[in-house]
Amino acid sequence: MAAGRQRDAERFLARLESLAPTCYVAPVHMAVAQLAIGHTGQAFEWIDKAVESRDVMVLYLRAMEIFEPIREDPRTAAILERVGLAEPGD
């Protein structure tokens, strides 16, 4: 990721974190921000929280481009299975 985009992503994450104590921030949005700065492990923690809170955005794990880097990760397959979105052969 270009340095400018990395800084933008870090600022976005910081903004979300500053908002979280006083208003709802969707767990998937936190996951997207973590992925944007390359924090895959933290992104999966937020995706798990999204599943637990029944965040409808989890349904877009297969569709949203931002999730492309983790599509082949076994944790993604496990999440998709957990929410009933696993395809045959996954």
Please state the domain count of the chain.
1
| pTM reported for the whole predicted model | 0.83
CB 32 within 8 A of CB 38: no
Residue 16: inside a domain:
yes
What pLDDT is recorded for position 66?
86
Residue 44: inside a domain:
yes
Residue 89: inside a domain:
no
Neighbours of 12 (CB within 10 A): 15
Residue 62: inside a domain:
yes
Residue 90: inside a domain:
no
Structural domain span for residue 57: 3-82
Residue 39: inside a domain:
yes
Neighbours of 90 (CB within 10 A): 10
- pLDDT tens, the chain, 90 aa long: 455 678 888 898 899 999 989 999 999 999 999 998 999 999 999 999 999 999 988 988 888 888 998 999 999 999 999 998 877 665
The CA angle 50-18-71, to the nearest 5 degrees, is: 35
What pLDDT is recorded for position 64?
87
Among 30, 41, 16, 31, which Cα is nearest to 67's?
31
